């Protein structure tokens, strides 16, 4: 085991897969000589060179379109989009081509492509660089959507995503890049579609993912000192959702909080809440509680930005009210 940041772990997973499979390559803006917007791909470029770490023009539509074509011809492209916000420029090749071609050709054509992108706020980079629009992709049949929250999961899931024969949207939260945990030195994968219980608890199921996991765990620690035990579930995969793990937990605790950074309306939390109501209604002692980002574009000012992102205090307050039947 080696202590790694999430950035290092994802880089390690990418490098290992590129050594294992010569069909894997990286394509995107400034991924080569510049090394990537946060420096993730720089060491990979130094090892593999321009042939397998390819800089592109500033055109997300072109980058993703090239990735779709390469995947159809048998390669395994890893497409990097600097910020999730920019993916709006490439929705057609993702939604209308990558997600559908395997189905439309009866399995004769596969699109084994990974699209990596940075999500979330917290760095004061304003409304066009701070969005969390993962629910857009989770709505589309034919796509898989992954959002790791730890270094261990980051490495294991990037390897699984590259080996998958479907297009995988791989979401990396900016603020998680510097978080660290132990990562196995040996080859391993984390299964797509399987949630993970990061903390066992008996009182309330707290279901979350990506950048909200550290806040969920911090809230759980604070509440444990009051005798309230949260069970913290990290979804890890947003499509397909691991409904079995969610249901099993909620049926034991009888209470549920769903937490995400994206705005409340039509978010992942709405889908999880609906699943709970359909599959565990008779076990609930209270309505499902949703905690989410405010319904406004992300402000540039750091003080204002902090007001729209869920906090540990919000989670703690909601859990106390839920436990006390308020």
Handedness of CA 189, 192, 193, 198 (dihedral sign): positive
Query: In the annotation, is 260 catalytic?
Result: no
The closest of 127, 108, 116 to 17, measured between CA atoms, is 116
Distances (CA, A) of 183 to 10, 188, 224, 255, 313: 11, 10, 27, 33, 30
Tell me which of 8, 29, 60, 231 is the catalytic residue.
Answer: 60
Reduced to 3 states (helix: H, G, I; strand: E, B; else coil), residue 298 is coil
**Which runs of consecutive H residues, i.e. helices, occur in the chain?**
6-20, 42-48, 60-72, 91, 101-104, 134-138, 151-163, 213-224, 243-253, 268-280, 302-308, 312-323
The closest of 178, 191, 184 to 16, measured between CA atoms, is 184
> What is the C-alpha R_g of the chain?
20
Which pair of structure tokens corresponds to residue 201? 């608890």
Asked if the peptide bond before residue 239 counts as cis, ω within 30 degrees of 0, the response is no
Q: Give dist(CA 207, CA 216) in Å, integer.
A: 9
Tell me which of 8, 17, 80, 129 is the catalytic residue.
Answer: 129
Query: In the annotation, is 29 catalytic?
Result: no
Q: Give dist(CA 174, CA 82) in Å, integer.
A: 11
Q: Are 207 and 115 in contact (CB under 8 A)?
A: no
DSSP annotation of 108 reads S
The closest of 177, 206, 194, 218 to 40, measured between CA atoms, is 177
Task: Please give the positions annotated as active site.
Answer: 60, 129
């Amino acid at each position: 085991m080696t202590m790694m940041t999430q950035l290092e772990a994802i880089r390690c997973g990418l490098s290992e897969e590129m050594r294992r499979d010569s069909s894997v390559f990286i394509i995107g803006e400034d991924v080569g000589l510049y090394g990537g917007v946060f420096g993730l791909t720089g060491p990979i470029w130094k090892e593999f060179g321009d042939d397998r770490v390819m800089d592109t023009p500033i055109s997300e539509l072109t980058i993703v379109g090239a990735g779709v074509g390469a995947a159809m011809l048998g390669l395994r492209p890893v497409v990097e989009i600097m910020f999730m916000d920019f993916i709006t420029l490439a929705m057609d090749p993702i939604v209308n081509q990558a997600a559908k071609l395997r189905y439309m050709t009866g399995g004769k054509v596969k699109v084994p492509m990974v699209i990596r992108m940075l999500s979330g706020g917290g760095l004061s980079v304003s409304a066009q660089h701070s969005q969390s629009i993962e629910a857009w992709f989770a709505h589309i049949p034919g796509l898989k959507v992954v959002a790791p929250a730890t270094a261990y999961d980051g490495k294991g899931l990037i390897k699984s995503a590259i080996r998958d024969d479907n297009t995988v949207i791989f979401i990396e939260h900016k603020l998680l890049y510097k978080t660290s945990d132990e990562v196995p030195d040996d080859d391993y994968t984390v299964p797509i579609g399987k949630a993970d219980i990061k903390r066992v608890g008996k009182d309330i199921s707290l279901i979350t993912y990506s950048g909200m996991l550290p806040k969920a765990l911090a809230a759980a620690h604070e509440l444990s000192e009051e005798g309230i035990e949260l069970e913290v579930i990290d979804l890890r995969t947003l499509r397909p959702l691991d409904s079995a793990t969610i249901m099993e937990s909620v049926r034991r605790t009888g209470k549920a909080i769903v937490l995400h950074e994206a705005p409340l309306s039509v978010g992942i939390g709405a889908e999880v809440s609906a699943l709970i109501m359909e599959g565990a209604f008779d076990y609930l002692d209270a309505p499902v509680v949703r905690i989410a980002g405010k319904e406004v574009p992300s402000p540039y000012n750091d003080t204002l930005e902090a007001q729209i992102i869920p906090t540990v205090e919000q989670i703690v307050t909601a859990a106390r009210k839920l436990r006390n039947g308020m």
